[in-house]
Amino acid sequence: MTIIPSEQEARTMVSTGTHSDGVPVVAYRIARASGEVLAARQDDLDFYAASTVKLAVLVAAARGLDAGTVRLADTCVATRTFTSQVPGAGEYTIEPDDVDTGLPPDGTPMPFGDVVERMVVVSSNEATNMVAERVGLPAVNQALADAGATRSVFGRKYSDLAAERAGASHRTTAADLCLLMSALVTGRLASPERTAWMCELLGRQTDRQLTAAVPGGVPFGSKSGWVDGIRHDVAFVGEPGPDALVVAVCTRGYDEPAAEETLKSLGALAVALS
């Protein structure tokens, strides 16, 4: 089973981008949700987080539901246009390559619960921005802090290029992603009802990388993320709780096929050895 391409193979698979210098890197942490680390490689290495930090937006939404500050039935209005957090930068739209074509036309009313579902299940950037606006970026970063993911940040809404140029970013490490997912599945971040709701949504994410080899009937959930030269995933396998297996893998510099082979192979090996 190929897990990490050789140096010679890697030279033919490199991918550069805004967040990748083309130098192939793989980092991972495999642990029990209770905190026992089973294996790790460069798990404190900093990466652009891509969509993996949507996991923290999900937690912030769950906490809002617990507190009663939002409800699943609350009305949101579908939109692809947002206001930059940089004063004077004005409005922007989601970048063309990232548009969620399954979102209803702009101006269409949507229940908050449906917006959260699109954020998780198909990783919609528009939906994420709508949720982040409703719960607030401080609540998202508080979720990261409470999970112990102290090197991670949700710095801006997606496609806010003015904020990105000003230094606002999404950052994470494999260790932090593992800590965040572990805190979620053990119920340390939200009520039992909302923890079950989050796990159910994560179990329906359509982009299965680390969980591709999970046997039928075994509970799992995941949240992946990708941009050019970046491909990550974080997953839990097994009944949510302290004994669940949690796997986080971050890659930079690989083209998409090589990165996905690495993620799926590491996921399969972790599940087989757990």
- Domains of the chain by range and CATH? 9-273 (3.40.710.10)
Nearest-10 Cα torsion for 97, 207, 253, 14: -80
What would the mean pLDDT of 38-54 be, rounded to a whole number? 97
Residues 6+ apart with CB under 8 A from 210: 222, 233, 234, 235, 247, 249, 263, 264, 266, 267, 270
CA distances from 6 to 22, 25, 193 (A): 15, 11, 45
- In percent, how much of the chain has pLDDT > 90? 89
| Angle at 244 (CA atoms; ends 240, 249), nearest 5 degrees | 110
Structure tokens at 212: 């591709």
- Taking Cα atoms as reference points, which of 274, 248, 273, 264 lies closest to residue 3? 264
pLDDT, residue 194, reads: 98
Q: Residue 47, Cβ neighbours under 10 Å: how many?
A: 24
Quote the pTM value.
0.93
DSSP 238: S
Is residue 92's pLDDT more than 70?
A: yes
Which range has the worst mean pLDDT, 21-25, 101-105, 143-147, 159-163? 21-25
Q: What is the CA radius of gyration of the chain?
A: 18
